[in-house]
Amino acid sequence: MTTLTQTKDERINIRLEASAKATLERAAQLEARSVNSFIVASALQVAQKTIHDHEVMELTEADAHSFLDALDNVTANDRLKAAMAEHKRRVITK
């Protein structure tokens, strides 16, 4: 059985007020974690939410129908026709 290990060789340094440090230490202690582990897990959770919020568009059902209707009624210009032909040439569908 092989085990993959990930090296932790990246570093981020932060400066903060004593009260903020005390709050982080208390929260980490309440979860029985190291401060480093608590900060990394918390920051990653917020980072993933931020990325999701910026990359994912959620539509209502009515908005989705409007969007799909607009796509169905697109008039293809020469550039779009060329792009569609290039896609057909490059992509093999099963």
Dist. CA 62–CA 16, nearest whole Å: 47
Contact between 80 and 74 (Cβ < 8 Å): yes
Among 5-9, 39-43, 62-66, 73-77, the least confident range? 5-9
pLDDT at 1 over 70: no
* Inside any domain, residue 47: yes
Q: Is residue 1 part of a domain?
A: no
Instruction: State the average pLDDT over residues 70-76.
Output: 90
pLDDT at 2 over 70: no
Rounded to two decimals, what is the model's pTM?
Answer: 0.62
Tokens encoding 80: 């779009």
Q: Are residues 48 and 66 in the same domain?
A: no
Alpha carbon 74 to its chain centroid, in Å, reads: 30
Q: Report in angstroms the alpha-carbon separations of 43 from 32, 36, 39, 48, 49.
A: 17, 11, 6, 9, 10
Query: What is the extent of the structural domain holding 81?
Result: 61-90
Structural domains counted in the chain: 2
* 22, part of any domain: yes
Same domain, 51 and 69: no
Q: Is 8 part of any domain? A: no
